[in-house]
Amino acid sequence: MNVRTSSLGYPRIGGSREWKKALEAYWAGRISREKLEEELSAIQESHLRTQRDAGLDFVPVGDFSYYDHVLDTAFMFDVVPPRFRKENGKEGLDLYFAMARGGENATACEMTKWFNTNYHYIVPEIGETAPRLVWNKPLEAYRFAKSRLGIAGKPVLVGPYTLVRLSKGYAAQEFESVVRRFLPVYVQVLKELAEEGATWVQLDEPALATGFPQEHLKLLEEIYGELSTAAPGLSILLQTYFEAAEPLGDILKLPVSGFGLDFVHDGGANLEALRQLEWPAGKSLWAGIIDGRGIWRCDPEAKLSLAEELAALVPGDSLILQPSCSLLHVPVSVRGERKLKPEVRGALAFADEKLEELALLKLALREGREAAGEALSEANAALAAFRALPERSRADVAELTRGLAELPDRRSTAYAERARLQRVKWDLPLLPTTTIGSFPQTPEVRQARLKWRRGEWNQEQYDSFIRKEIESAIAFQESAGLDVLVHGEFERTDMVEFFGEKLDGFLFTEGGWVQSYGSRCVKPPVIYADVAFTEPMTVKETVYAQSLTQRPVKGMLTGPVTILNWSFVRDDLSREQVALQIALALRQEILALESAGIEMIQVDEPAVREGLPLKASDQEAYLDWAVRAFRISTGLVRPTTQIHTHMCYCEFGEMIGSISDMDADVISIETSRSHGELIESFESMHYDKGIGLGVYDIHSPRVPSVLEMETAIDRALRVLEPEQFWINPDCGLKTRGWKETEAALRNMTEAAVSARRKTGA
């Protein structure tokens, strides 16, 4: 069987996060632009060499980015919001970074989730833009790979349909005309690639896996008919991923040379559709059979069986095996993981190992299983050893989850009565101010944690350091005039990792970093076994902070669905089952906080929406169990205990019912990067609980003025009652510096005082 292999993209960050370090050095002024470009070119070349040496038949080029691939696409077509045209004459790379991070006089472009992943993209603002090609990035990448390594790569580019679907700045009825506005520049890109000698181009259209209106089918036929005609010597791969491409029968009629389909996260729908359809003659199937988002080693026998069935459905030598999506979403390599149990390490596959899996499948399919016999036996033995670990089947956890049906998952008192009791108990001013939880993780904080982890500091030395940081944070918050305080989370590396380290069922890698947004990298915990509570996790620091002040201090936890969605999760249980295990563990922590006198408790769920299935037909079931998991965590506290939660990058209007069903007393939501669009949704909907709409963007280093925040507050109060509105930043302050944090929060409290005067409070 003459199968070939490909990949959709490779992690940008480097095995030691070289990419991140170079970017941040440039932003801090420590290296020149020339040095930045030199370092990033070396990283890009290394990544290409790795993929070539892994034996890929098609190596992607153009997937490497200086920040974000959607921003790249907008920037190459000169989709630059007018406010950045005036940004002190910035151009080129500095203009590009200003759009992502904000400038001195221009707020950053909106940032939101890339479909249902934890990667964030920069949202293009189209407006009245007349697209023009100012930078042919795929061509540049093709030339780079060819000249440096002799690789005739497969250029990768976000497709026009998905680009416009993900953009803002146009009315819904203008969608088709806006897509057509971009066709000439896509035609120009493809023509220049064909002239350069490229033979395939990958146009990513993941929006086709979200479901699309039937009337868009003619638009897609028009788009791809024009693109295919414009560059007849260039074969177009229409690439989908993350879920099933539906209706597949109609999609397969589009005039392109190949179709990329996800056979991992499609719920079996793509394979079932292919069994019912006749594969179009002359077209190739780029089959995503290796999980591009998960970290577990594949079952090679199952994948070989799948590949053999696909080969039987696709005539000739038209089958190309690949990951289900870009490997952007997984760490680089398992090779540096020296501290894991052998049984666990043997079950892991990061980006490099996934390329090895593709090579193994290709060998077995081309030359027979006997040729790959030793490697297949090793893989099967490793999986068997992992599956047999006793902590993956705990009787005590099974007993707890069996009793879920009898446990209450709602508060005993309705919100209206709780709100009355809480107003009396807390006696807060109108428009109370608070933060989302974390304060800057300075180099000193990170160094202290490193000394403790290395054993250079004992527990008492580390605890003493953390207490001093908490003391400083409480003193600052009081001086800044905040009404509800936080302890600052200085003891936490990450809002998920911290809890995973204290719960059974998690493990942690040394180098399992992935990109979240920009240069921000996270090292997700790995849920490999049953999750269980062992001892209180947050009580010590929170109680100490409360002892320093008469103002309320919030207990800070990460919610069950966010812990689930921001972890790499075992694949032998449903995600619902794992979420409920986490919820039961967090319930014990919340009750421990309450027993210790902490009666404002924030259970953050910023990642609820990113787990939402892309198909509308599947979303209700997910939201039902996600909301239930939150309520299981919080449902047993007293009526006077105030439960907060936080969400970011959430299409609030689409989830208003589910968010209300979570029954939190106060919710805070990111709104600053959406430039107030979320606030407009309250004009047509009613939300009856406490709510804080973030009044400034913490992802940008700029400090907003008092007037800017007053304007944001005033706008919110046009649609919300003053009695329900809280004033806060849009997210935690961990990634910011103290200077900008202090300035911004003082401006925020001053804006709150001004708003109270306006309301007559």
The closest of 9, 204, 24 to 115, measured between CA atoms, is 204
Which residue stretches of 602-705 are H helix? 616-634, 652-661, 677-681
Name residues whose C-beta falls within 8 Å of residue 263's C-beta, 6 or more positions apart in sequence. Answer: 270, 271, 287, 288, 289, 306, 310, 324
CA 76-81-82 angle, to 5 degrees, is 125
566 marked ligand binding residue: yes
Q: What is the C-alpha to C-alpha distance for residues 673 and 473, in angstroms, rounded to an integer? A: 26
User: From CA 179, how far away is CA 551, in angstroms rounded?
Assistant: 54
676 annotated to a ligand binding site: no
Return contacts of 457-462, CB within 8 angstroms, 24+ apart: none
Q: Is 500 annotated as a binding residue?
A: no
Annotated binding-site residue? 325 = no
137 is in an annotated binding site: no
399 is in an annotated binding site: no
Whether 492 has a binding-site annotation, put simply, is: no
Is 646 annotated as contributing to ligand binding? yes
69 classed as catalytic: no
90 marked ligand binding residue: no
748: tokens are: 């925020």
In the Cβ-directed half-sphere of 84, how many Cα atoms lie within 13 Å?
A: 24
174 a known binding residue? no
Backbone angles phi, psi at 604, to 5 degrees: -75, 135
Here the tokens at position 612 are: 């939402």
17 is in an annotated binding site: yes
Q: How far apart are CA 493 and CA 419, in angstroms?
A: 34
* Dist. CA 745–CA 480, nearest whole Å: 7
Q: Is 697 annotated as a binding residue?
A: no
List Cα–Cα distances, 389 to 401, 529, 574, in angstroms: 20, 8, 18
* Residue among 39, 194, 205, 2 at smallest CA distance from 115: 205
Residue 489 assigned ligand-binding role: yes
DSSP code of residue 678: H
Task: Establish whether 298 is an annotated binding residue.
Answer: no
Give strand pairing partners of 6: 58
- Name every residue whose Cβ is closer than 8 Å to that of residue 300 and which is 6 or more positions away in sequence: 357, 360, 361, 364, 376, 379, 380
483 annotated among ligand-binding-site residues: no
Known binding residue 520? Answer is yes
Instruction: Report the candidate in 607, 521, 532 with the shortest Cα–Cα distance to residue 562.
Output: 607
Q: Are 56 and 362 in contact (CB under 8 A)?
A: no
Q: Is 109 marked within a binding site?
A: no
Sheet architecture: strand order including 600-604: 555-558, 600-604, 642-647, 666-669, 690-693, 725-726
| 514-517 and 520-522 strand pairing | antiparallel
Q: Is 113 annotated as a binding residue?
A: yes
**Which one of 69, 487, 644, 699 is the catalytic residue?**
699
φ/ψ region of 92 (left if φ > 0, alpha if ψ in -120 to 50, else beta) reads left
CA distances from 749 to 294, 423, 643, 705 (A): 43, 20, 22, 11
Sheet containing 4-5: order of strands: 4-5, 319-323, 284-290, 258-262, 235-239, 200-204, 154-158, 60-61
Binding site residue list for L-homocysteine: 436-438, 489, 604
Binding site residue list for L-methionine: 436-438, 489, 604
Instruction: Give me the active site residues, please.
Output: 699
Binding site residue list: 17-20, 113, 118, 436-438, 489, 520-521, 566, 604, 610, 646, 648, 661, 670, 731
Binding site residue list for Zn(2+): 646, 648, 661, 670, 731
Binding site residue list for 5-methyltetrahydropteroyltri-L-glutamate: 17-20, 113, 118, 520-521, 566, 610
